[in-house]
Amino acid sequence: MCGRFNLTATPETLVEHFGLQRLPRYQPSYNIAPTQKILSIVELDDKSLKAVNLFWGLVPSWAKDSKKHLINARVETVREKPSFRSAYQHRRCLIVATGFYEWRQEDTGKQAFHIHRQDNQLFAFAGLWEFHEQQDLYSCAIITTEATEVMKPIHERMT
């Protein structure tokens, strides 16, 4: 389950890697947390890709209370859950990262792990996005799945 991640690539690297025309305002960060604006890539009607900033914590379009935001969506139930069903069918995105953090419970407390590619290059999480008209809010959630054998010793879920 992803609760923090980082994105430290240069704007030039992001534009080249994803074939983008331009980026929105972007600031590299080693500690991106829920409720922050995060760099995401959405597909437009003409199939081109556009980089946008989305609020990390999905608020369904029909929600009356925007204080309850959902940072992660389980891939096993994303098709059925009312909070994610429409976004899963129509509004998927990529959430750009260079690494993420997971914590393992130890006898002495929690131990943090930074998970990243060996070459420190970019990758992307699968995500969903929504627009809440009354709040004028574009928001997103990261899709998580059961951990692989490599990740299981650290955490039971992963992005």
> Among residues 93, 102, 130, 140, which one is catalytic?
102
Cα separation, 43 vs 49, in Å, equals 5
Q: What is the CA radius of gyration of the chain?
A: 16
Report percent pLDDT > 90 for the chain: 68
Domain with residue 92: its CATH number is 3.90.1680.10
Domain residue limits at 55: 4-158
Residue 158 pLDDT more than 80?
no
> Among residues 2, 93, 130, 140, which one is catalytic?
2
DSSP 97-129: ESEEEEEEEETTEEEEEEE--TT---EEEEEEE
In the annotation, is 2 catalytic? yes
Cα separation, 60 vs 44, in Å, equals 20
pLDDT of residue 1: 58
Question: How many domains in the chain?
Answer: 1
Kindly report the average pLDDT of the chain as a whole number.
92
Tens digits of per-residue pLDDT, 103-131?
988 999 999 999 999 999 999 999 999 99
Cα separation, 4 vs 100, in Å, equals 6
- Helix %, strand %, coil % of the chain (to 5): 10, 45, 45
Look up the pTM and report it.
0.92
Residue 2 pLDDT more than 80?
no
